[in-house]
């Protein structure tokens, strides 16, 4: 693997969406991530299948974590790793025998990353939940929705992926950097709720000083402002405008064919509702493509609102080479883009546990040890 994390070895106990998203990002930057899959999930006759976006860039071994020899296998892997990552409910890995104390007793330099929704401690720590729940206690969900309507859920980009997987990856990289100087590892308690609050940090201050109110759809960034909003076009498409700065706003008005002298001041909040209506009527006079031809690439702070499918062929994205084509499925180039040690998307394992023998051999297991573990049904 290429990338700035090349040479860094990580052990990932297989988990759901948020954790593999974080390890995907670490792997795409060069980390050698070895995913420990559950032996019980390996089919009797594994066959190569289409690569999974979630699996990309990692190798897979399959271990029975309920078998003493399986636990010992994982602990031996930890001895030669730089990071160990898990996303179980608090206390589960301790009961299995691969908690922070056991792992760090084998390797004091290892970084132990723990990803949960609520965190390792707190009244909700042992409660089940999903991305929407973790987002809900941050204040952010309460701020999203139309004027006069209820708050609306957003896709799990905030809780699972940004607040969870990326939050964990950031903590891992920080701890690895510190371990190079101190020679000691540490435990990372990455809670998705904490991560969402970190993303929303500016809004806590804005709310306190009156720049953001609790009334939905009346604020600058929640659809209240006519100049920071989304509008339907003549053909049923949508466009976004966001000219916050006065000179950008003036340009937008000019290109829309509106006379600024006949309109209220941009920041007169009492006139925002009527201005939203004027903008809505104006944008419905042309199709989305016609507005693109008029506004795209200008300083009017404009962009079309497109679908996931359209994003794969959108000119700006294709020019930057953002999407990679893999077996007919669009996959993304590792970002951010590094000039000297760019990331590498890597390949997916052929099947669960496909790399068991190779990985164990690399970590010092003898052939007879691997055979014995297989006979005990401790590994795939």
Strand boundaries in 141-237, DSSP class E: 187-191, 229-232
- Closest by alpha carbon to 13, among 30, 38, 44? 38
Same domain, 132 and 178: yes
Out of 37, 64, 82, 160, which one is annotated catalytic? 160
Give yes or no: 226 in active site. Answer: no
Give the 3-state secondary structure of residue 224: coil
Sign of the C-alpha dihedral, residues 192, 25, 29, 35? Answer: positive
* Spatial contact of 107 and 81, defined as CB atoms under 8 Å apart: yes
What contacts 206, CB < 8 A, 6 or more positions away?
212
Total number of domains constituting the chain? 2
Give per-residue pLDDT as tens, 126-154: 999 999 999 999 999 999 999 999 999 99
Q: Looking at residue 379, what DSSP letter applies?
A: B
Q: For residue 326, what pLDDT is reported?
A: 56
Note whether residue 1 is domain-resident: no
262-283: buried (b, 16+ CB within 10 Å) or exposed (e) per residue?
eeeebeeeeebeebbeebeeeb
Q: How far apart are CA 83 and CA 157, in angstroms?
A: 25
Residue 303 is given by DSSP the state E
Q: Mark whether 174 and 251 lie in a shared domain.
A: no
- Mean pLDDT for all residues in the chain: 94
Tell me the whole-structure pTM to 2 decimals.
0.93
For residue 142, is it within any domain?
yes
Full domain range(s) for residue 147? 9-200+338-375
User: Do 284 and 235 share a structural domain?
Assistant: yes
Q: Out of 67, 130, 189, 299, which one is annotated catalytic?
A: 130
Q: CA 237 to CA 307: how far, in whole Å?
A: 10
CATH number at residue 267: 3.30.1540.10
Task: State whether 57 and 115 are in the same domain.
Answer: yes
With a cut of 70, which residues of the chain have pLDDT below it? 1, 47-52, 326-328
Do 15 and 156 sit in the same domain of this protein? yes
Question: Tokens 């708050």 map to which residue?
Answer: 151
- Could you confirm whether 160 is annotated as catalytic? yes
**How far apart, in Å, are the Cα atoms of 380 and each of 26, 46, 49, 363, 376?**
25, 11, 18, 16, 10
Residue 324: the pLDDT is: 84
pLDDT at 12: 98
The residue from 297, 313, 329 where one domain ends is 313
273 belongs to a structural domain = yes
* One domain for residues 47 and 84: yes
**Can you give the pLDDT at residue 273?**
96
């Amino acid at each position: 693997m290429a990338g700035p994390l090349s040479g860094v070895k990580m052990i990932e106990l297989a988990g759901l969406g948020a954790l593999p998203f974080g390890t995907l990002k670490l792997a795409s930057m060069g980390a050698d991530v070895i995913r420990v899959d559950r032996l019980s999930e390996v089919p009797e006759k594994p066959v190569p299948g289409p690569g999974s976006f979630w699996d990309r860039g990692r190798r897979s071994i399959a271990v029975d974590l309920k078998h003493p020899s399986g636990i010992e296998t994982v602990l031996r892997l930890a001895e030669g790793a730089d990071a160990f990552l898990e996303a179980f409910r608090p206390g589960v890995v301790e009961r299995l025998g691969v908690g922070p104390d056991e792992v760090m007793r084998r390797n004091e330099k290892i970084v132990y990353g723990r990803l949960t929704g609520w965190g390792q401690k707190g009244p909700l720590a042992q409660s089940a939940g999903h991305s929407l729940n973790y987002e809900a206690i941050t204040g952010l969900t309460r701020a999203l929705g139309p004027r006069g309507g209820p708050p609306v859920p957003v896709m799990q980009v905030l809780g699972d992926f940004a607040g969870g997987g990326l939050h964990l990856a950031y903590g891992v990289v920080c701890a690895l950097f510190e371990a190079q100087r101190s020679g000691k590892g540490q435990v990372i308690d990455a809670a998705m709720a904490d991560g969402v609050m970190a993303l929303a940090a500016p809004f806590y201050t804005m709310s306190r000083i009156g720049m953001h109110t609790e009334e939905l759809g009346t604020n600058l960034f929640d659809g209240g402002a006519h100049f920071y909003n989304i509008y339907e076009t003549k053909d049923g498409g949508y466009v976004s405008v966001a000219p916050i700065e006065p000179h950008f706003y003036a340009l937008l008005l000019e290109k829309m064919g509106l006379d600024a002298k006949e309109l209220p001041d941009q920041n007169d909040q009492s006139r925002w509702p009527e201005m939203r209506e004027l903008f809505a009527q104006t944008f419905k006079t042309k199709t989305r493509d016609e507005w693109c031809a008029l506004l795209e690439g200008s300083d009017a702070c404009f962009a079309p609102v497109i679908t996931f499918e359209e994003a794969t062929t959108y000119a700006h994205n294709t020019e930057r080479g953002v999407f990679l084509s893999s077996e007919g499925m669009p996959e993304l180039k590792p970002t951010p883009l590094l000039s000297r040690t760019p990331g590498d998307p890597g390949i997916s394992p052929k099947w669960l546990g496909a790399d068991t023998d190779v990985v164990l051999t690399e970590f010092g297991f003898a052939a007879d040890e691997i055979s014995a573990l297989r006979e005990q049904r401790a590994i795939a």
